[in-house]
Amino acid sequence: MAFEIASTNLVIELGIILAVMLGWQFTLAEFVGGPIMIILVALAFRVFVSQKIIEQAKTHADRGMPGRMEGHAAMDMSVTGDGPFWRRLFSPKGFTSTSRLYVMNWASVIVDVVGGLVIAGCLATWVPDSFWRHLFFTGHPLAAEIWGPLIGPAISLVAFVCSIGNVPLAAVLWSGGMSFGGVISFIFADLIIVPILLIYRKYYGTAMALRLFAIFYATMTVAGYIVEAIFDPLGLIPTTRHVAALQPHISLNSDTYLNIVALVLTAVLVTRFLRSGRSAHAVHDGWLSHRGRNGEHEGPMSGSALGVPEQVRACSFDLDGRAKCLSICCGRPYSAATQGGKG
């Protein structure tokens, strides 16, 4: 759980976006509150999660249930060989590896990012400021400080976006009057949105999923209170709720030029990815849709043709054309590799 919290809420890209959209104080709060939440979760697990529940969750996880990005996880993107790092990085294989990592990482978060921006835009446009002021008790400072961290995770729960996608929504809530601790709790609560709760249930079982929800909700709320209690006396809570990213106008500035550079780099990497001839391919019901070395579609191939049982679930290809497949064999995870992707 500590790894999950850190890999979701203590990552550099999240801190950068928080600083850009909300201010450096929110980035600092995220990195202060993250370790606090990890400690609270560890203590709560010792008290409220029995060893029996943990063993049941481990048994459930050992079934090897496949996920949407299993093929991505199986891809071997390492670039081996002689020579210094920079030479290998800018080699043809290095270029291909970079393009695939870039595209697949975007594939894993694109729904959250786009969803967060769309929902944030709709809320900022359609919901009047008076609604937010009443919801967050902006006229009652003490009530706002108590209520914010309590309702923050509840709003995130129904938002259906997580991690980076939560930041635009956090900007809307902050500009609407939510307390500082409430916004931090909301950002932490990307770990209990409905799709992720369903993933917990899928991998760990219902009993553990319910405990994870309760523990995460409680610790996110408490972490929000603690962060606000630390930042308020130090004068680190922003005094303005103006969020430049939410203003309804377009301007030409340094961000514009950075966006143009990013779009050009994206176009180059995506083009390389599409021309490289291989990417991760999903496999369902024991059939693999694969491609040859030149990228042409060669039709379906069963799992047994790859030398693995019929219960193949996901396959991917490394830089040298080796197909790597994940499957379930007799209720346990099984993996196999074959050269060339042709069986």
Look at the block and give the residue holding tokens 């309760």: 214
Q: pLDDT tens-digit profile of 102-139?
A: 888 777 777 767 776 777 778 777 888 888 888 898 88
Could you give the 3-state DSSP secondary structure of residue 283? strand
Asked, for residue 132, whether it belongs to a domain, the answer is: yes
Reported as half-sphere exposure (CB side, CA atoms, 13 A), residue 84 has a value of 2
More confident residue, 85 or 170: 170
Last residue of a domain, one of 231, 246, 261: 246
- Cβ pair 184, 10 in contact under 8 A: no
Q: What is the predicted pLDDT for the residue at 275?
A: 84
Q: Are residues 234 and 286 in the same domain?
A: no
Average pLDDT of 143-161?
A: 88
- Residues 107, 223: one domain? yes
Same domain as 95, residue 172: yes
Distances (CA, A) of 158 to 118, 140, 154, 180: 15, 26, 7, 20
Q: Answer yes or no: do 189 and 80 share one domain.
A: yes
Q: Indicate if 233 and 303 belong to the same structural domain.
A: no
Judge whether 256 lies within some domain: no
Residue 6, amino acid: A
Q: Which amino acid is at 291?
A: R
Q: Are 241 and 171 a contacting pair, CB within 8 Å?
A: no
Token couple for 261: 């550079």
Alpha helix (H) residue ranges in the chain: 2-9, 12-21, 24-48, 51-61, 70-74, 85-89, 92-126, 129-135, 141-157, 166-176, 180-188, 194-204, 206-231, 254-275
Give the C-alpha separation, 199 to 215, whole Å: 16
- Kindly tell me if the per-residue pLDDT of 44 is higher than 70: yes
Percentage above 70 pLDDT, the chain:
70
Last residue of a domain, one of 246, 272, 306: 246
Q: Are residues 189 and 303 in the same domain?
A: no
Q: What are the pLDDT digits (tens) for 169-228?
A: 888 889 888 999 999 999 998 888 888 888 888 888 899 999 999 999 999 999 999 999
Q: Are residues 329 and 227 in the same domain?
A: no
Domain that holds residue 327: 281-338
Domain-embedded: residue 79: yes
Q: Verify that 183 and 322 share a domain, yes or no.
A: no
Q: How confident is the model over 291-321, as pLDDT tens digits?
A: 333 333 333 333 333 333 333 334 444 444 4
pLDDT at residue 270 above 70?
Answer: yes
pTM comes to 0.67
* Domain tally, the chain: 2
Same structural domain, 231 and 325: no
The answer to whether the CB of 161 falls within 8 A of the CB of 169 is yes
Residue type, 74: A
Query: What is the C-alpha separation between 326 and 208, in angstroms, rounded?
Result: 25
Of the ranges 36-40, 237-241, 280-284, 302-306, the best mean pLDDT one:
36-40
Structural domain contains residue 50: yes
Q: Are strands 297-302 and 323-329 parallel, antiparallel or unpaired?
A: unpaired
pLDDT at 217: 95
Residues 196 and 326 in one domain: no
| Residues 209 and 319 placed together within one structural domain of the fold | no
Q: Tell me whether residue 306 is exposed, middle or buried, using C-beta atoms within 10 angstroms of its C-beta: 0 to 12, 13 to 18, 19 or more.
A: buried
